[in-house]
Structure 1
Amino acid sequence: MANTTVKGAIAIHGQNPQFLVETVIRNRIWESNYWKEHCFALTAESLIDQAIALRCIGGVYGNQRPTEFLCLLLKLLQLQPEKEILIEYLQADEFKYMRALAAMYIRMTFSAVEVYELLEPLMKDFRKLRYRDMAGYSLTHFDEFIHSLLTEERVCDIILPRKAKRSILEENGEIGPRKSRLLDAMEGKSNDRSRSSSRSRSRSRSPSKSPYRSRSPSTSRSRSRTPSENGRYVSRSPSRSLSRSPDRSRTGSMSPERMDIDPTNV
């Protein structure tokens, strides 16, 4: 009775939810001490304590022993909690291993559209995860684990159910295009660069002082004089020297026609 699926459970992908785990691994989970001691009589609420206590993810290790992660995953498949509870598991940022457990269950049981909509936002989580397999312990990151759930066929020694590709769902209009954080960051940088370039252009186009005002008196004076052949400077400015008026005669005397003096008084 402890290994049977809860009554009223809905078939997932046309079969019993526990059958999503391979028979060999499922039998090893039922025979493990962790399953018998810690997974007995668990509910969707009491399972949270065990999920918070997880310290690694992975499949089988050593002598084909299942990890605690796999045991709790099979327990979730046996209990089949409501969707709202799983979303609450997924939104618990402070408990990364419980979040990874909920992501694994969602990938195995939810539809393809829901899988993309719920798991893709988790790609921005870059925290480290401890992974255990036949080779021992290793480190991975949360975004790498989510990427493997979305792209690979086998994760943690479990064969994942097939799902439609994202490109096909986009062509059918079932899901919108994926928003890349890297593209948004690049667009933000390009906008900042365009703003800075526009500001620099506006500064360069601002009215500057006239070059004639910046000239010193010495430069203006030096330009008004040019060196002559004898080494002297001759001014090009309008000369103040007296020029002979055209009204005066070449001899320097005035013409008698313009004289108003009476000759008899001379």
Structure 2
Amino acid sequence: MSGFHQADERRFLDERGSSVSVAPNGLNPATIMEKAVRERIVDSYFWKEQCFGVNEADIVDRVVEHVSCIGGTTGTTQKPTPFLCLALKLLQLAPNDDILKAYLQHGGDKFKYLRALALFYVRLTRPAVDVYTTLEPFLADRRKLRRKGRAGTQLTFVDEFVDDLLVKTRVCATSLWKLPQREDLEDLGKLEPRESALGDIDEILDEEDEDDKEEEENEEDDADDDEESEDEEEDDRQADKRRRQDTDDTGDESGGRNGLANDRRDVRRRTPASESESDRSRNGR
């Protein structure tokens, strides 16, 4: 009977303490997923119809034909996605590194969910060093993915999914085993320092600091120029005000002199007229 497949694959779960070989990271593949999630998977229609008698080669066909999103459980009934069902099937099949490499090397949008499934399986079953060395190159994959969960369908990308696998503790309704910090593995000499696709991070930060300093200096120079221009404008206004005052004072003095001259001319005009009148009065007498 060992060569026959059971429709619900419960034997894999029932033998979790006996004949099931542990994963490369030392975990029991039959207990990596929570019991409630495993029970929903083996009771689902997709598992019973599409995952019965499937081998490593058939996984590729199942992913291409039926997987259109990543995710764990969906809806109020917490129905498992085909992605999660096939992940449990991989835990049962336990493919070797060569098969996983073949999964990861498939390119194009047709096989992007196969790559996501393989990356998810690597995170579940491989040691920390293998997880970092396998997943980090795919942080440059910018292809779009659909993520389906209880809140509905959302848009994500392969690199975001990889980042979630490296930093989060729960992805696709599955609790991930604690991954050591990369810096700790570098200190132990198990990993080489990661080279970012952007270049040397320290150099980028130094350049940004220099740019910020130049901007601050330019802003200070602009502020000084504005203050100087304001001082010059104020000096011009004071000079104009003084010139107007001087003009008004000069106008008042000239106006006073002109008034005195006019008074003198009036006196001279009136003086001959008064003298002629006195002469006429004397002659008449």
TM-score, shorter chain, exceeding 0.5: yes
Q: 1:16 aligns with which of 23, 28, 36?
A: 28
Which runs of 5 or more structure 1 residues have no equivalent in the other structure?
191-266
Deviations 1:129-162 (A, max 9, x none): 0010001111001100000000000011110112
C-alpha distance after superposition, 1:95-144 (max 9, x if no partner): 10000000000001001001100100000001110010001111001100
Q: Secondary structure at the match of 2:154?
A: strand
Structure 1 residue ranges (4+ consecutive) displaced by more than 4 angstroms after TM superposition: 6-9, 184-187
Counterpart for residue 77 of structure 1: 91
Instruction: Please tell me the root mean square deviation across aligned C-alpha atoms, in Å.
Output: 2.0
- Judge conservation of contact 1:4–1:78 (CA < 8 Å) in 2: no
Q: Distance in 2 between matches of 1:52 and 1:127?
A: 16
Secondary structure of the corresponding residue to residue 45 of structure 1? helix
Secondary structure at 1:47's aligned position in 2?
helix
Residues 129, 141 of structure 1: 8 Å contact kept: yes
> What is the distance in 2 between the residues matched to 1:15 and 1:181?
33
Find the counterpart in structure 2 of residue 57 from structure 1: 70
Structure-2 residue corresponding to 1:202: none
Q: 1:15 to 1:142 in 2, by over 3 A?
A: closer
SS in 1 for 2:21: coil
Q: Determine which structure has the larger helix proportion and give its number.
A: 2
CA distance in 1, matches of 2:55, 2:44: 19
Q: How many residues align?
A: 188
Percent of aligned pairs with the same amino acid: 44
TM, length-normalised to structure 1: 0.67
Letter matched to residue 46 of structure 2: Y
Q: Is the 8 A contact 2:27 2:125 kept in 1?
A: no
Partners in 1 of 2:61 and 2:200 — Cα distance?
38
- Name the CA distance, whole Å, in 2 between partners of 1:180 and 1:91: 21
Structure 1 distance, partners of 2:20, 2:97, is 13
| Stretches of structure 2 lacking an aligned partner (at least 5 in a row) | 1-5, 208-285
The reply on whether 1:179 has 2:195 as its aligned counterpart is: yes
| Secondary structure class of the residue paired with 2:118 | helix
Shift of 1:14: 4.4
Quick one: which of 5, 11, 14 aligns to 1:4? 11
1:148 to 148, 160, 164: 164
CA distance in 2, matches of 1:121, 1:14: 24
Structure 1 residues 24-73: Cα deviation after superposition (integer angstroms, max 9, x where no partner): 00000000000000000000111110012211000101111000000000
Distance in 2 (CA, whole Å) between partners of 1:87 and 1:50 is: 18
Q: Which amino acid aligns with 1:60?
A: T
Cα distance in 2 for residues equivalent to 1:15 and 1:183: 36
Distance 1:83 1:64 in 2: 32
